[in-house]
Amino acid sequence: MPNIHPKTTPIYQTSVFTFDDLNELELYFGQPGQSYMYTRYGNPNTDELAQEVNKLESGVGAVVTSSGMSAILAAILAVCQAGDHVLCAEEIYGGSSALLTQELTRVGIEVGFVPTADTYTLDSYVQPNTRLMLAETMSNPLLQVLNITRLAQETSRQSIKLVIDNTFASPILTKPLTLGADIVIHSVTKYLSGHSDVTAGVVICRAQEVLQRVQKVMMVYGLNLSPFEGWLAARGLKTLRLRMKQHSSNGLQVARYLQQHPKVEKVWYPGLEEHPQHELAKQQGQGLFGGMLSFQIKDEAEAVNRFMQALPTIPFAPSLAGVNTSISHPLGTSHRSLTPEQQQKLGITVGVIRFSTGIEEPEELIAELEAALAVV
């Protein structure tokens, strides 16, 4: 067979790899990372994705998983066991909250939520068995921006790990490990992959021993990603920097437009000067503010329905961060599992719409929004 040097990594669509003999098998166990045995343990496509994301996040290594949810699970189980206590920011993705409160509590992990006002003073929340705190760079869906350096100083003082969900920001805006976080997770499904055709997650670590634990959890629990999705995500990652610049530029223009519209009651976007963490977001995001924003129209389901139905090309799709713009309804989707009291406390009402700005021409997006808001 001739020497083949493909510019793009081929897809290793196989569940298992072969060995010549026992000597080669022993080499596999004696020199980890030099060869492959079983795709649940490792595959060239998923390894390539892990290595590229790790470079972007400046970690010691990364582990890719089957979804963003399995990435959160792997990060927590790498640090915690039955009898341990986990802290979580009060305003967080509803799926993360459901995982903690509905599932991990069933296996003996205690959970406590920290109100936004107390984020940086954890004395009254940390217990002797507290092991970590989970928070988001920018919260879902109301875009509160976390001062990662400040929180990392507090979690270090409390001797607990800090796990940051960096999905909304991406490493193009913010690298939490360089600001003191211990573990970073992403739903690769979103910005890292970028084209709404992959379901994947990734965990990036600052310490080698934590990385090894995450790898073990991924392998033993079977949280691995398929080769094809690893290949697709690695391909999408190549345009991440370009996409984030356009997402951010469009996000700012759309937010400014919505801010002045008489039928829009409130806009949440860190790029607006009125945003309470605008200066922090500017500094922590390298002058970019991302493509995610939320806004509030009349608190009536029928008004929201009319608005959604009047958008000819912007779909109602309960995900985010694709190259095509989409909208979502946090009350009915991402934060549906919260109690009405929790939803009310966070300000997630029926009129709140989350807007994932794509990379289209901003004038087209604004014209479509103008027409849809006219029927509200």
Cis peptide before 270 (omega within 30 of 0): no
190, 206, 213, 243: which one is catalytic? 190
Is 165 an annotated catalytic residue? yes
Helix (H) or strand (E) holding 356: strand 352-356
The token pair at 178 is 């360089």
| Active-site annotation holder among 36, 40, 41, 257 | 40
CA pair distance 268, 293, nearest whole angstrom: 6
Catalytic residue among 12, 93, 191, 269: 93
Structure token pair of residue 12: 């290793």
Evaluate whether 85 touches 129 at the Cβ level (below 8 Å): yes
3-state secondary structure (DSSP) of residue 264: coil
Neighbours of 219 (CB within 10 A): 16
Q: Which of 47, 131, 161, 165 is catalytic?
A: 165
Residue 201 CA, distance from chain mean position: 8
- Strand 352-356 vs strand 292-296: parallel, antiparallel, or unpaired? antiparallel
- Determine whether 40 is an active site residue: yes
**Cα-flanking dihedrals φ and ψ of residue 337, to 5°?**
-75, -10
For the annotated catalytic residues, the residue numbers are: 40, 93, 165, 190
